[in-house]
Amino acid sequence: MKTSLQRRELLKFLAVGSASSLLSACVTPKSAGSSAVQQLGHVIIVGGGWGGATAAKYLRVWSGGAINVTLIERNAQFVSCPLSNLVIGGSKKIQDITRDYSGLRALGVHVLMDEVTGIDPIKKQVSLQKTASLRYDRIIIAPGVEFLFDQIKGLNAKAQQTVLHAWKAGPQTVALRQQLEAMPNGGVFAISIPKAPYRCPPGPYERACQVAWYFKNYKPKSKVIILDANEEVTSKKGLFTKAWNEQYKGLVEYRNNWQATELETNSSFHTVVSDLGDKLKADVLNIIPPQRAADIAQQVGAINANQKWCDVNWITMESTAVPGLHVLGDATLAASLMPKSGHMANQHGKAAAAAIVESFNGRTPQAMMMANTCYSFITDKDVVHVASVHRYDAAKKTMLPLPISTGPALSTEPNALEGVYALSWAQTVWADMLS
């Protein structure tokens, strides 16, 4: 008998606080801050993004300070990929989506700015670029994705300086915005989308909307061309296509089955070439390359699915290839209808933290529900969303989405109220991760 989820239950699960309560139900926190807390072990976390930062926080909180946590992150600050398209569209600044790690430090997490150069799962040791090697009892990697630039001929290191992906929020986000500002009214912005799976399925289409919103208001003679390697829009298809055909009519052109395989450049414009030999010139070209789990996952031997992704035990988030190593976020081989999203990585982080706390206390980890909400900005204020809840299926050993019996999990149309919800969601999840 299928389990369906009522609309009221869905909203409850999607609330970050409710999710935290649900996941913490299986652990027995000790009083945080007690000087008499007996240490249970040392966990190293590689990557301080949505999954890694969340895991670091909840390992400390749910163990009552009994687990020593070291978070290794190359960047001094967290910059959110969700909402970063608003910076490209011009309604937000990069500072609006940037946070620091002071909240995690206050919880007792040792935040180390460094680069991991290797992991030895036999010796349980991490090698670092700047500091001495560290030993661990358990290790979590939340490394994100590696961009496969070599799959697009001509997209070499020099070309990457001007043909940006901006698919990791930060300096390239700001640089792409500056390219749009410098582009003449009447110019062409083209965005190239790789075949799925890739990080944040609706993200490229949201970006197209944000650029179109900017053009509509400030450069109305310009055009957005979407070059999609997929057969159709991979997320929120009806909502995005309606926006392009109505709100941005004449500004946006969508081309499916258009896989970028080559790049030609000159001083004034870029030309992208498809697998069928079609060519397109653009004043600003935004190529999002194909992706796989990041190099550190490959180095440690955790990539064991399609030579791209890391298969995991969904109860513990532990790698099926490397015992004692847990993998979170975009690097994982996603379960059915489970997107590579920030919110999903946040849920992975909680599941891994709960499982490790249970294991260190000699108890058997239990499967957790995971929820996801993904908001997409159609304009600077009007937003659509998709939401889902996923439950572990013991027979299939994977997470499966729950059917929703009352009310849609997808917006019916863009509206400003959902824009308010989206901004509130971001503030809430950032606080849930980092403080």
Q: Please count the other Cβ atoms lying within 10 Å of the Cβ belonging to residue 249.
A: 9
Each residue of 191-206: pLDDT tens digit? 999 999 999 999 999 9
Mean pLDDT for 398-412 is 79
Q: What is the pLDDT of residue 55?
A: 98
Q: What is the pLDDT of residue 265?
A: 79
Residues sharing a CB contact under 8 Å with residue 359, sequence separation 6 or more, in sequence order: 138, 316, 365
Each residue of 353-369: pLDDT tens digit? 999 999 999 999 999 99
Each residue of 258-296: pLDDT tens digit? 999 999 977 678 999 999 999 999 999 999 999 999 999
pLDDT at 255 over 50: yes
pLDDT at 18 over 50: no
pLDDT confidence of 243, banded at 50, 70, 90? very high
Q: What is the pLDDT of residue 404?
A: 65
Q: What is the pLDDT of residue 266?
A: 74
* Mean pLDDT lowest among 124-133, 275-284, 374-383, 401-410: 401-410
Residues sharing a CB contact under 8 Å with residue 314, sequence separation 6 or more, in sequence order: 335, 351, 367, 392, 397, 398, 399
pLDDT at 25 over 50: no
End-to-end CA distance of the chain: 40
Q: What is the pLDDT of residue 8?
A: 45
- Strand stretches in 239-323, DSSP E: 252-255, 260-265, 270-274, 279-282, 284-287, 291-293, 312-313, 318-319
DSSP letter for 152, please: S
What does CATH list as the number for 27-74+114-146+293-372? Answer: 3.50.50.60
pLDDT at 66 over 60: yes
Class (C level, CATH) for 149-289: alpha beta
Q: Please count the other Cβ atoms lying within 10 Å of the Cβ belonging to residue 83.
A: 22
Mean pLDDT of the chain: 92
Q: What is the pLDDT of residue 426?
A: 98
pLDDT confidence of 176, banded at 50, 70, 90? very high
Closest CA to 367 of 23, 53, 55: 23
* CATH 3.50.50.60 in the chain, residue ranges: 27-74+114-146+293-372, 149-289
Each residue of 152-172: pLDDT tens digit? 999 999 999 999 999 999 999
* Mean pLDDT lowest among 11-25, 234-248, 333-347, 386-400: 11-25
Q: Please count the other Cβ atoms lying within 10 Å of the Cβ belonging to residue 79.
A: 19
pLDDT at 323 over 60: yes
Q: What is the pLDDT of residue 268?
A: 72
Q: What is the pLDDT of residue 24?
A: 44
Evaluate whether 293 touches 308 at the Cβ level (below 8 Å): yes
Mean pLDDT for 329-347 is 96
